[in-house]
Amino acid sequence: MTHRTEPRTTPQDAADPAALRRDRFGALPERIRPEETVETKPATTPDPARDTYNPDEWLIRYCG
């Protein structure tokens, strides 16, 4: 096992990472209004044949 007698130093510029963080996280993003987050679409007319009651449907579904 090797032991170091002198402290380990790496050449780093302390201002450079701080400036990068400030450029990236220094300001909040533009505010989004709630009106811009909702999408509206016109409703379609319901199909009358789709929801009609069929008395024999249970026979087809469970016995057929």
Tell whether pTM > 0.75: no
Q: Looking at this protein, which amino acid is placed at residue 26?
A: G
Report if residue 10 sits inside a domain.
no
Report if residue 7 sits inside a domain.
no
Report if residue 41 sits inside a domain.
yes
Structure tokens at 27: 């300001």
Domain count, the chain: 1
pLDDT digits (tens, 9 = 90+) for 23-35: 888 888 899 999 8
Q: Give the pLDDT confidence score for residue 5 in this predicted structure.
A: 66
Region 43-62 average pLDDT: 78
Which residue in this structure is represented by tokens 């009651």?
A: 53
pLDDT digits (tens, 9 = 90+) for 53-63: 777 887 888 88
Report if residue 9 sits inside a domain.
no
Residue 10 has pLDDT above 60, yes or no: no
Domain extent, residue 26, equals: 17-63
Report if residue 34 sits inside a domain.
yes
Q: Give the pLDDT confidence score for residue 11 in this predicted structure.
A: 54
Q: Give the pLDDT confidence score for residue 33 in this predicted structure.
A: 92
Report if residue 2 sits inside a domain.
no
